[in-house]
Amino acid sequence: MSAAAALSPRPPPPSPAATVHSLLASLSDPSALRILPAPLLAFSQLRHLLPPAAATGLLLRPIASLLHLHRSDLRVGLQLHGLSLSLGLSRFSLLLPRLLSFYSNHPSFLPAASSLAAGSTSPEPYNVLISACLSHGLPRHALAAYQEMIDKDAVPPDAFTYPKVLRACAETANLALGRAVHVRAADAGMDGHLFCQNALVSMYAKCGDVVAARGVFEGMEHRDVVSWNSMISGYAASGQWREAVELFRRMQAEGAEVNSVTWNTIAGGYIQMHDYRAAVGLIRDMVRGGASIDFVTLVIGSNACSRAGWLRLGKEIHGLAVRMQCHEIDSVINAVITMYARCNDMEHALMLFRMMRCPGLVAWNTMIAGFALSDDAEAASRIFREMVCSDVQPNYVTVVTYLALCARVANLQHGRELHTHIIKQGFKGYRLLWNSLIDMYSKSGRLSVAQNVFDTMDDHDMISFTSMIAGFGMQGKGIVSLRFFKRMIDSGIMPDAIIMVTVLSACSHSGLVDEGEELFDKMVKSYGIKPQMEHYSCMVDLYARAGLLEKAEELLNQTPFPPTSTMVAALVGACHEQGCWNELATVRKLMRDLGVMKAPGLAWADLGNGFTPFLVGDRSNPLAPEIYEVLDELTEQMRSMNNCTDLEILSMEELRG
């Protein structure tokens, strides 16, 4: 600094009047207020400089600006409101919206906001209150505010009120009130506004009245993307996918704006209609047309490939997700893992799963379901144990998926462990779980345990009875199966085609010819069920097992369906057992003429390190030597049993091929 500058006089400090003017200008302007380093300190300084007589009028705008700036700070807001009351400023219209906005920011203070709005004759305070209720997820409170508003004839709703109230009606599914609001808006001449019309379409659609929604939609002079999306989403929500697709095509034909919401809704609709090719084609059009693709699009594309089994295309969508940096979004990675699992590529599914930092419940369930699809009980067991050890609590979907696998492969040990887990976790109200337990124990031959589970259930459905009937039927206890069937009918549950197959099969395995014939006759006359191929197959098997070859052949010739391998195999077995070699040759020739091939028998063997599937005569299995060694031991044990027939021994030997 030069000597001359040091000796020059300093500028005089600003006068108190100038300071007051500067502070008032900064505190009254919201944009200037935001850049002040300490707004509350500046306000305190202003109060100190102002004479008491002038404070009342001059502090109104600064208090309003500070209320807006600190509307999320409860302590500051309450202090500012208290100051306005002490200064007599709360009656001014400038302050009322700010106070309403402040109290509306805090759900517990909504009654205070309602009290403030009640003293107004303008719709603006009510609009602020209704919007606040909706933003806090309290649509019923919003409707209560609207009701209070219209009860005061001096406060007419305006063009901003109706769209918000109609949204509240949609969120509460209050169609009756929505119609009343529509009438009131029409009487006020506001139902022609675009925002109001869009809200009407959305309200009617979300309340399930798509006819009324379409009526409003068709009556609109101008439509924007919200109008189209609301109508298309309404059709989608009600399951009217064909109408949604037709409206989408009309939207494109009229050159209307199509955003990602529209594309995703229609692509999801194609999946619901099982038209996976169209879903993927639509996504391809989005990519080629430069449309906005988001993570929802990727999930939909992965789902389409999952259900159609398109692994190569699924990998392309996976690659697109990586390029878009969406591959770490939970919903996307879960959909991609599901795609790999359903396409039988568990190696890549497991690799992606291991790459996840913290897999959620959906990811764990997806992996267990994937191994269940491939009947890999041991891998599913490992994943389940890892899941429990990682403090992720399995839900009923996890347990049902794993139980179904245990039932298919007759894995009693893992099934028992799951049963213990179900009891510990208190899944008492999930009937599907208990039905799965019954199915697992029945297929594992533990009928007494299955019946104990059945008896502990509070309510039974057709699945419960079907599992019990099938379990006892497979064990040759058809009489017990029929008791359960009668008990089901007496409880008011009418049979369907599936349970009729189950009970007819039970009769077949127990030689209950008369009972089977009676049930087959009742199917049409009493239960209104038209016999399908599976029912005829059961009856052919029933006659064949009972040695009634003529009846079996007669029914086989009368079936309106081509003979299946199961039907012909039943006749072959009966001819073999009865020693009817001429008939056996005839049936063999019939099989050749019809091109009927009997699928080789499939069984599971537990060699101490998990269950392994094997086919009749299959020597390609790497564990074949061990499997056939176990079969030899079982055959010797069967030969030593007095009640073992030659046919059963022959069947065991045939397993060796």
Q: Tell me: the pLDDT tens digits for 165-205? A: 999 999 999 999 999 999 999 998 888 899 999 999 999 99
pLDDT at 649 exceeding the cut of 50: no
pLDDT at 273 exceeding the cut of 60: yes
The token duo for 83 is 């100051």
- Confidence at 613, pLDDT banded by 50, 70, 90: low
User: What does the alpha-carbon distance between residue 70 and residue 74 come to, in Å, rounded to a whole number?
Assistant: 8
pLDDT tens-digit series, residues 479-501: 999 999 999 999 999 999 999 99
Global confidence as pTM = 0.68
Dihedral sign, Cα of residue 25, residue 28, residue 32, residue 36: positive
Task: Count other Cβ atoms within 10 Å, centred on residue 592.
Answer: 10
pLDDT tens-digit series, residues 409-450: 777 888 888 888 888 887 777 888 889 899 989 988 899 999
The token duo for 173 is 């599914």
Single-letter residue type at 166: L
Provide the pLDDT for residue 648.
46
The token duo for 535 is 């029912």
What 3-state class would DSSP assign to 88?
coil
Query: Is the distance from CB of 317 to CB of 306 less than 8 angstroms?
Result: no
Query: Is the distance from CB of 435 to CB of 467 less than 8 angstroms?
Result: yes
User: What does the alpha-carbon distance between residue 322 and residue 166 come to, in Å, rounded to a whole number?
Assistant: 41
User: What does the alpha-carbon distance between residue 632 and residue 382 come to, in Å, rounded to a whole number?
Assistant: 31
Mean pLDDT in residue range 58-64: 84
- Confidence at 317, pLDDT banded by 50, 70, 90: very high
Q: How far is CA 348 from CA 15, 308, 339, 341, 377, in A?
A: 76, 18, 10, 8, 18
pLDDT at 652 exceeding the cut of 50: no
User: What does the alpha-carbon distance between residue 527 and residue 537 come to, in Å, rounded to a whole number?
Assistant: 19
